[in-house]
Structure 1
Amino acid sequence: MGNVSSYFPFYSQEDNSKKSEDRPEEKPGNKKEQRSKPTPKDPREIWKKTLREKARPMKIKKKIEKKKKADYFLKHVRPKRKY
């Protein structure tokens, strides 16, 4: 077996080294940005999560409305008495 350059005259060791120099070095911080979010292992987990999220909005909405009414009552209807 001969040199690689004998089979492929356009390919040589010098060109290969130049390519690696031209390429910008990868910084360790960039790898975190490129990673996608890890997916849950069990598809049933995803299903349970979506069910929970679907069941919640009305509960949360009612709680928020209750809190708003209570805040309004405390601020406007019965402000703190000054003695």
Structure 2
Amino acid sequence: MTGRAGVRVEVADRDLLRWAIGESGLSLRSVAARVGCSHGQIGHLTSGRQRSCRAELAVAIASAIGCGFDEIFTTASKG
């Protein structure tokens, strides 16, 4: 998935996202620092408080934690 400005994606499996971050050995702060967002945003994505984010951020998160993009994220529904 190539990130394009304005394209949003949803977390398809927040439990897998939370697990993958734990398995990566990185803290939420470390992931956030690597991808250029706040640790709060990563926390909101793993808790379900925030369900979507920019595609560029999702790609960066998946890469930082060593997970496939399609395993964790899906195209955001419109509406």
TM-score, normalised relative to structure 1: 0.19
Higher relative contact order (CA 8 A, sep 6+): 2
TM-score, normalised relative to structure 2: 0.19
Greater strand share, structure number: 2
Greater helix share, structure number: 1
Which entry has the higher C-alpha Rg, 1 or 2? 1
